[in-house]
Amino acid sequence: MKILATVKRVPDPETSIKVKPDGSGIVADNIKWVVNPFDEIAVEESLRIKEKVAGSEVVLVSVGAKVAQEQLRTGLAMGADRAILVVAEDGLEPLAVARVLVKVIESEQPDLVVMGKQSIDDDSNAVGQMAAELLGWPQATFASKLELAGDQKTATVTREVDGGLETLSFPLPGIVTTDLRLNEPRYASLPGIMKARKKELKEIEVGALGVDVAPKARLVKMEPPPKRQAGKKVASVEELVHLLHTEAKVI
Amino acid sequence: MPSTAVIDFDSTKPTSPFYTDSHREWRDVLRRWLAKEVAPYVEAWEAAGEIPLALYGKAAEVGLLGLGYPERYGGTSAGIDHFHHIVTSEEAAQIGAGGVFASLMVHSIGLPPVLALGSDELKARVAARVLSGERHICLGITEPDAGSDVANIQTRAVRDGDDYVVRGSKMFITGGLRADYVTAAVRTGGPGYGGISLLLIELDRPGVSRTRLEKMGWWASDTAALYFDEVRVPAANLIGAENQGFLGIVLNFNGERLGLAASANAYARVCLVEAARYARERRTFGKRLADHQVIRHKIAEMLRQVNATQAYLESCAWRVQQGETPVADLALLKVQATLTMEYCAREAMQVLGGAGYLRGNKVERIYREVRVNAIGGGSEEIMRDLAARQLKL
């Protein structure tokens, strides 16, 4: 079967992020960029299916700047077969990304699309759902377990919901978005890195797809969270209670 | 307002023309792997005096054990060059525990002679199992009365039918306590270097005994003395031709020195980074250590030495890559790197003061590992002598 997994280039979650003084975005210099951790889980899940179902192919797709090649190479080094980069130097909104993905999906015709439930930079949590809607495909979001029927015609997905687990079953093709506990992604390996250099990485200019990617929203301002204030030492329980009441106003 | 400029391992390294995408990608993967699979356990493994055997299998999976070895035996050699090895030494050094890698990577001295000179049958029997992490191989050259003077080896292997009978002992053998095989230098002929052969000895054979050696540093490495008392070894285990072992041993040395220099200088850089970090945090006499001229000059001096050594290292690696064997420079590079490590370990300890003297920090451990780097793989004295001989003074 053919599985399409998404890979977004995002700042390393361990990098300290600085907001530009004019609030127009983040300072992109000196940031380490990685594969969106939820997408890494999507790639891993795709590779596990490939290992189980003989003759499967895992295709990666990224929508973003040309430098996102690096993240696609990482996914190829993990074991994916080939990659597609839709080059869009300016960041796209979720609906635009969903429309671009739909174009890629229509041309690739995968049996299953696995994507991160959200990217850790914009946290929109929207593209998977939007793409499924645009395609008229079934979707199962926040998957913590994914199983395929023996004939690979049906997927069963467990989702962690408030108060328990929900199990959904749907006919393929469909879209699954991954939650944190779905799997623990493998490391790319040295032989994987060397082999990845010879794998196909196709680039498509976003303009060539003929979809409307014009932004519908305008970024007004980005600002860093307020600096944490220094703590205060108190001499007695009485003083603590008094301050909690008068200053912090929590009791 | 205190400076927030980044001073870390990467930021202190000069930009270099020798690294490509595959070097950078390997550095990233290895760094992540080490942070998760090794760094959290270093203290425990140092205390236990060994690394878990399961680590070899994990290291094989990520491609670490197979780095530079033929694909036929499960390694990765296509497209691999000396800079992948430098990257590996540097990332390993950042964990700040040389003993862990001394035992994890001990095959990097034990296996090459087998692959360079061994029969196809021997290679097939040993190489894949070592590179998959299933079996372990160490190198046995040094003896109580022979080391860098390889020609003086006294362990004897006497031919008896289809076997050799081995009698003697090997000293300071890294990874020797748990290895399955030793690539041993043995005397099969007359005196001098013309009478030495290399023999693969399985260490579960009757007559082999081993003793653990306690050390100043490298605690996680299971270093041992090996004793051979009439050990029968099949003649098929001979590595290369009889009495031709000396060349195999010497061939090993040049590559080993490049690796030792890369890691010694990386340890020096770790000391520099740790000293800078502490100097920016710790306050004395109303200001940061980093604001005292005597301390900031220490940091600058460490940086000067580390980056000068880095340039020498990369120039030597590039020359080796071009097919040259710059014996004198490789020997002197090792001296340069271990002196830099010694200097930086000392200076970083002075900057860290009492905090450095406490157990459980990288600088303290690196300080205890200076000597094994300055002595192992050819001492500074032997290296200078070798270089002087090459100069034909």
Q: What is the CATH number of the domain that holds B74?
A: 1.10.540.10
Residue from B15, B29, B33, B61 whose CB has the most chain A CBs within 10 Å, to mutate: B29
Among chain A residues, the shortest Cα distance to B63 is held by A190
Say how far apart CA B138 and CA B103 lie, in whole Å.
Answer: 9
Say how far apart CA A193 and CA B28 lie, in whole Å.
Answer: 11
Q: Are residues B254 and B350 in the same domain?
A: yes
Residues with Cβ < 8 Å from A124, sequence gap 6 or more?
A: A94, A118
Check A190 against B63: CB less than 8 A apart: yes
Say how far apart CA A227 and CA A157 lie, in whole Å.
Answer: 41
Task: State the DSSP H helix or E strand holding residue B319, giving kind and residue range, or none if neither.
Answer: helix B293-321
Q: Are residues B264 and B215 in the same domain?
A: no
Q: Is A249 within the bounds of a domain?
A: no
Q: What is the ipTM of this complex?
A: 0.86
Task: State the DSSP H helix or E strand holding residue B30, giving kind and residue range, or none if neither.
Answer: helix B21-37
Which range marks the domain in which residue A36 is found? 2-220
Q: Which residues of B touch A189 (CB under 8 A)?
A: 29, 61-63
Say how far apart CA B307 and CA B14 lie, in whole Å.
Answer: 7
Q: Are residues B191 and B91 in the same domain?
A: no
Q: Within 13 A of B27's CA, how many CA atoms are on the CB side?
A: 18
Q: Is A246 within the bounds of a domain?
A: no
Q: Out of B62, B67, B71, name the one closest to residue A187 (CB).
A: B62
Q: What amino acid is encoded at A17 in this protein?
A: I
Residue A248: predicted pLDDT? 85
Q: Which of B243, B277, B295 is the last residue of a domain?
A: B243
**Exposed/middle/buried for residue B91 (C-beta within 10 Å: 0-12, 13-18, 19+):** buried
CB of B25 within 8 Å of a chain A CB? The answer is yes
Which range marks the domain in which residue B341 is found? 247-390
Check A188 against B67: CB less than 8 A apart: no
CB A56 within 8 A of CB A155: no
What's the rounded mean pLDDT across residues B212-226? 94
Q: Is B286 within the bounds of a domain?
A: yes
Burial B163-192 (b: 16+ CB within 10 A, else e): bbbbbbbbbbbbbbbbbebbbbbbbbeeee
**Exposed/middle/buried for residue A208 (C-beta within 10 Å: 0-12, 13-18, 19+):** exposed
Q: Is B365 within the bounds of a domain?
A: yes
DSSP state letter for B227? E
pTM for this entry: 0.89
Check B22 against A193: CB less than 8 A apart: yes
Q: Are residues B261 and B386 in the same domain?
A: yes
pLDDT tens-place string over residues B141-181: 999 888 888 888 999 999 999 999 999 999 999 999 999 99
3-state SS, residue B230: strand
Q: Which residues pair with B210 in a beta bridge?
A: B226
Say how far apart CA B243 and CA B301 lie, in whole Å.
Answer: 49
Residue from A18, A47, A184, A193 whose CB has the most chain B CBs within 10 Å, to mutate: A193
Say how far apart CA B100 and CA B34 lie, in whole Å.
Answer: 11
Residue from A32, A189, A190 whose CB has the most chain B CBs within 10 Å, to mutate: A190
Q: Are residues B357 and B252 in the same domain?
A: yes
Q: Are residues B275 and B220 in the same domain?
A: no
Q: Which residues of A touch B25 (CB under 8 A)?
A: 73-74, 77, 188, 193
What values do phi and psi take at B299, rounded to 5? -65, -45
What's the rounded mean pLDDT across residues B324-339? 96
Among chain B residues, the shortest Cα distance to A186 is held by B62
Q: Which of B91, B110, B131 is the last residue of a domain?
A: B131
Number of inter-chain CB pairs under 8 A, A vs B: 47
Q: Is the pLDDT of residue B1 over 70?
A: no
What's the rounded mean pLDDT across residues B91-111? 93
The CATH number linked to B285 is: 1.20.140.10
Interface of B with A in 39-68 (CB under 8 A): 61-64, 66-67
Q: Is B221 within the bounds of a domain?
A: yes
Q: Is B2 within the bounds of a domain?
A: no
Q: Which residues of A touch B21 (CB under 8 A)?
A: 70, 73, 197
Residue A225: predicted pLDDT? 86
Say how far apart CA B275 and CA A166 lie, in whole Å.
Answer: 53
The CATH number linked to B205 is: 2.40.110.10
Residue B242 falls in the annotated catalytic set? no
Separation in Å, CA of B214 to nearest CA in chain A:
34
Q: Are residues B61 and B166 in the same domain?
A: no
Nearest in space to A95 (alpha carbons), one of A220, A211, A249, A183: A211
Number of domains in chain B: 3
What's the rounded mean pLDDT across residues B279-290? 95
Structure tokens at B329: 């420079």
Q: Is B330 within the bounds of a domain?
A: yes
Q: Which residues of B touch A70 (CB under 8 A)?
A: 21
Q: Out of B61, B71, B78, name the one closest to residue A189 (CB).
A: B61
What values do phi and psi take at A157, rounded to 5? -125, 135
* Cβ count within 10 A of residue B107: 27
* Beta-strand relationship, A82-87 and A201-205: parallel
Q: Is A234 within the bounds of a domain?
A: no
Say how far apart CA B207 and CA A224 lie, in whole Å.
Answer: 70
Q: Is B176 within the bounds of a domain?
A: yes
* Beta-strand relationship, B181-187 and B137-140: parallel
Structure tokens at B139: 């190198």
Check B25 against A189: CB less than 8 A apart: no
pLDDT tens-place string over residues B50-95: 999 999 999 999 999 999 999 999 999 999 999 999 999 999 999 9
- DSSP labels for chain A? -EEEEE--EEE-TTSPP-B-TTSSSB--TT--EEE-HHHHHHHHHHHHHHHHSTT-EEEEEEEE-GGGHHHHHHHHHHT-SEEEEEE-SSPPPHHHHHHHHHHHHHHH--SEEEEESS-TTT----HHHHHHHHHT--EEEEEEEEEE-TTSSEEEEEEEETTEEEEEEEESSEEEEE-GGG--PPPP-HHHHHHHTTS-EEEEEGGGG------SS------PPPPPPP----SSHHHHHHHHHHTS---
Separation in Å, CA of B177 to nearest CA in chain A:
29
pLDDT tens-place string over residues A133-156: 999 999 999 999 999 998 999 999
The rounded percent of chain B whose pLDDT value lies above 70 is 99
Residue B248: predicted pLDDT? 81
Nearest in space to A223 (alpha carbons), one of A5, A15, A22: A22
Q: Is B190 within the bounds of a domain?
A: yes
| Centroid of chain to Cα B283 | 37
Whether residue A173 is preceded by a cis peptide bond, meaning omega within 30 degrees of 0, is yes
Q: Which residues pair with A6 in a beta bridge?
A: A61
Q: Out of B28, B33, B79, name the one closest to residue A194 (CB).
A: B79
Nearest in space to A9 (alpha carbons), one of A81, A60, A79: A60
CB B47 within 8 A of CB B220: no
Check B25 against A74: CB less than 8 A apart: yes
Q: Are residues B277 and B164 in the same domain?
A: no
Q: Are residues B144 and B126 in the same domain?
A: no
Q: Is A135 within the bounds of a domain?
A: yes
Q: Are residues B62 and B155 in the same domain?
A: no
Q: Is A240 within the bounds of a domain?
A: no
C-alpha distances in Å from residue B282, one per residue of B18, B73, B276, B278, B279:
37, 51, 10, 6, 6
Q: Is A107 within the bounds of a domain?
A: yes
Q: Is A232 within the bounds of a domain?
A: no
* Cβ count within 10 A of residue B199: 26
Residue numbers in chain A where pLDDT is lower than 70: none
Burial A109-118 (b: 16+ CB within 10 A, else e): ebbbbbbbbb
Residue B27: predicted pLDDT? 96
Check A194 against B61: CB less than 8 A apart: no
Q: Are residues B219 and B278 in the same domain?
A: no
Among chain B residues, the shortest Cα distance to A188 is held by B29
Q: Which of B80, B115, B131 is the last residue of a domain?
A: B131
Say how far apart CA B83 and CA B70 lie, in whole Å.
Answer: 17
Number of domains in chain A: 1
Check A190 against B26: CB less than 8 A apart: yes
Q: Are residues B282 and B383 in the same domain?
A: yes
Nearest in space to B239 (alpha carbons), one of B183, B159, B179: B183
Residues with Cβ < 8 Å from B215, sequence gap 6 or more?
A: B221, B223, B372
Among chain B residues, the shortest Cα distance to A33 is held by B28
Q: Is the pLDDT of residue B393 over 90?
A: no
Q: Is B14 within the bounds of a domain?
A: no
Separation in Å, CA of A82 to nearest CA in chain B:
17
Q: Is A241 within the bounds of a domain?
A: no
Residue from A73, A187, A198 whose CB has the most chain B CBs within 10 Å, to mutate: A187
The CATH number linked to A199 is: 3.40.50.620
Check B29 against A73: CB less than 8 A apart: no
Interface of B with A in 3-22 (CB under 8 A): 6, 21-22
Residues with Cβ < 8 Å from B388, sequence gap 6 or more?
A: none
Query: Catalytic pick from B256, B314, B342, B347?
Result: B256
Q: Which residues of B touch A69 (CB under 8 A)?
A: none
The rounded percent of chain B whose pLDDT value lies above 90 is 90
DSSP state letter for B251? H
